[in-house]
Amino acid sequence: MTRKRRMFDIELPPEDPAADGIGAETFPAGNADQRTDQRRGPMATAIVETAESHRARAMLEADIRAENDALAQEHVRLKRAGLIVDLIALDSIDTRKLIRDRTHAPDPEMAELVASIRDIGLSNPIRVEPGADGRYELIQGWRRLTAYRQLLEETGDTERWGRIPAGIAARGDALEALYRRMVDENLVRKDLSFAEMARMALHYAMDPHTGEHDAEKAVAVLFKSAGYQKRSYIRAFIPLVERLDGVLLYPHEIPRALGLSLARRLEDQPGMVAALKAEFDGWDTRSVMDELAVLRRFAGAEDGAGEGPRPKPPSPPGEPPASGKARTTFQLPRPQGKAKCTAANGRLEIRLPRDFTAVDRRRLEAAIVRLLDDIG
């Protein structure tokens, strides 16, 4: 007995639904992709999904690159303006790029700066330029850096004083611009003497990397904003500072009129330099007033404007008259270094690399009273 197979007629939709008057809108909304996927094989579906993923990833990477480029440009702009600030280790900062305008004479304002930084911190970061091997070159802030180094030496606190806030400038600024910035910073900080400004011009001319090696012409480069008369005074001080380098302890204390008189005398009397050297030879403990008195004597009558030799106060009754440069000098070893002591008529001076303003006033007064009592 044989079974009869039943045949069922299956009506499939035509390839083009529009051919039978059936539009695409007859499919439920949102099922079009599902219908397409049903027609694709698994391999085709995977290829499409991978391509879409790569497209999305490429768009995301392009957005990230654009954002990073914008951030990099902003970083360069801030760095160029010196607005990127970081804590830089003191021992990684060099001061060789610019020839500094500093003398070896004591800076009376340094103790005040050190005390201010110790009490309230540094209000204005220094400015450095990246160098080789992770080091930095100082552009601005020599006194602030010196104060930090002094505080580190005094306290040994590397956590607090071992690093200094610094604005990191981009490399590539012209050397002339760096010198101008250094000069302008000093001019804003205080009224520089003509000797200090003359020394700046000399140092600029001495730098082998600058474009001007004539000190008098360097005055016009560094002091463009100064008037003609002021620049002429600076030029007049140049031979004075140059020829008496190492002879004077306080050239920055020379008034304008006295300096101009000395400059003329040096020009007219070449032997005056040797005479001044002989006068100051071995007199390392002289004060500002001592040095100026000698310079006024050598300047003679040409030193006008009321800056002639100042009369010495009369000696009190019963005291012998002052004996010129008669004095007693000696050195005493101390933990802070060598204490240089000078005893003269009416003056007892102790020089020691220590900030005595940090000592309690009552303790300091008591020590001086005991000293004077022991001397009798």
The position carrying tokens 């219908």 is 35
With H, G, I as helix, E, B as strand and everything else as coil, classify residue 53: helix
Pairing of strands 93-94, 347-351: unpaired
How does strand 327-334 pair with strand 136-140? unpaired
In whole angstroms, give the CA distance from residue 49 to residue 72.
34
Strand 327-334 and strand 347-351: the pairing is unpaired
Between helix 110-120 and helix 142-155 the angle, nearest 10°, is 70
Note the pLDDT of residue 311.
41
Neighbours of 61 (CB within 10 A): 10
Cβ(33)–Cβ(24) below 8 Å: no
pLDDT tens string, the chain, 376 residues long: the values are 556 555 545 454 555 555 555 444 454 555 545 555 556 677 777 777 777 777 877 887 787 787 777 766 766 666 666 567 788 899 999 887 765 544 545 566 678 788 888 888 887 888 888 888 889 888 778 888 989 999 999 999 999 999 998 888 766 555 656 665 666 555 545 567 888 888 888 888 887 777 778 888 888 888 877 778 888 898 999 999 989 988 998 888 899 999 999 999 988 888 899 999 999 988 888 888 999 999 999 987 444 433 444 444 444 444 444 444 457 777 777 777 777 888 877 778 888 877 777 777 778 887 887 888 778 7
Residue 57: what pLDDT? 78
Between 1.20.140.10, 3.40.50.740, 3.90.1530.10, 3.20.20.70, what CATH number should domain 82-173 receive? 3.90.1530.10
Residue with the two structure tokens 């006008």: 304
pTM: 0.43
- In our burial notation (b when 16+ CB lie closer than 10 A, e otherwise), range 334-352 reads eeeeeebbbebeeeeeeee
Q: Return the pLDDT at 111.
A: 81
String of DSSP letters for 216-285:
HHHHHHHTTTS-HHHHHHHHHHHHHHHHTTTT-S-GGG--HHHHHHHHHHHHH-TTHHHHHHHHHTT-TT
Length of the chain: 376
CB atoms within 10 A of CB 278: 10
Query: So where are the chain's domains?
Result: 82-173, 327-375
Pairwise CA distance, residues 173 & 252, whole Å: 30
Distance, CA of 328 to CA of 337 (rounded, Å): 20
